[in-house]
Amino acid sequence: MLIGELAELAGTSARTLRYYEEQGLVRPQRDTHGYRQYDEAELKVVHEIRSLLAVGFGMDDIKPFVECLRATGSGHVCPDSVAVLRRKLAEVDGLLAELADVRLRLHTQLTQALAHRETPCSSPSPTPPSTRSC
C-alpha cells in the first residue's frame, strides 16, 4: 500500500509516517519509481507506535517495542521492552505519589477555608454582616 493508504488505515497523516520513518520505526519498501510501499506488518507497527505515544511513551522508549514486535509479533515480551515498561511504571507511580500529596494539601486548605468561613467574626463591626469580611 502507498503512504496515503497506510495513513488513512492507521488514522494518522503521511507526514507523521515520514517522521516515524526518520526515527527508524517504520520501514517502507521503495518501488521502481521511488514511491514508499508498505506491507500489512507496518500497519501493526504504526498502531503500536500510536498506542504507546497515547500513554506517554517517548520516541526513544518506543524503539524496543517496535524491534520486539518485528521479532516476535508482540511488542511487550522482549527484555528491553519489559525494562522500559518497568521504568515507565515507576515514573507513573512517582507522579501518582506527587499528585496524592498535592491533593492532600488542597483538601487541607479547602477544609481550613470552609472552617474559617463558617466561624463568625471575633470582633464586632459596625458593618452589616452581609457585607463584612473577616
| pLDDT tens digit sequence for 8-30 | 999 999 999 999 999 999 999 99
In whole angstroms, give the CA distance from residue 111 to residue 103: 12
Residue 67 within a domain: yes
**DSSP calls for 17-46:** HHHHHHTTS---EE-TTS-EE--HHHHHHH
- Helices vs strands, H then E, count in the chain: 5, 2
Q: Which range marks the domain in which residue 18 is found? A: 3-116
* pTM, 2 dp: 0.75
| pLDDT tens digit sequence for 51-67 | 999 999 999 999 999 99
- The total domain count for the chain is 1
Residue 84 has pLDDT above 70, yes or no: yes
What does the pLDDT read at residue 127?
57
**Domain of 20: which CATH number?**
1.10.1660.10
Residue 123 within a domain: no
Residue 105 within a domain: yes
Residue 117 has pLDDT above 70, yes or no: yes
Query: Are the beta carbons of 49 and 70 closer than 8 angstroms?
Result: no
Residue 125 within a domain: no
Q: How far is CA 124 from CA 90, 113, 115, 131, in A?
A: 55, 21, 19, 13
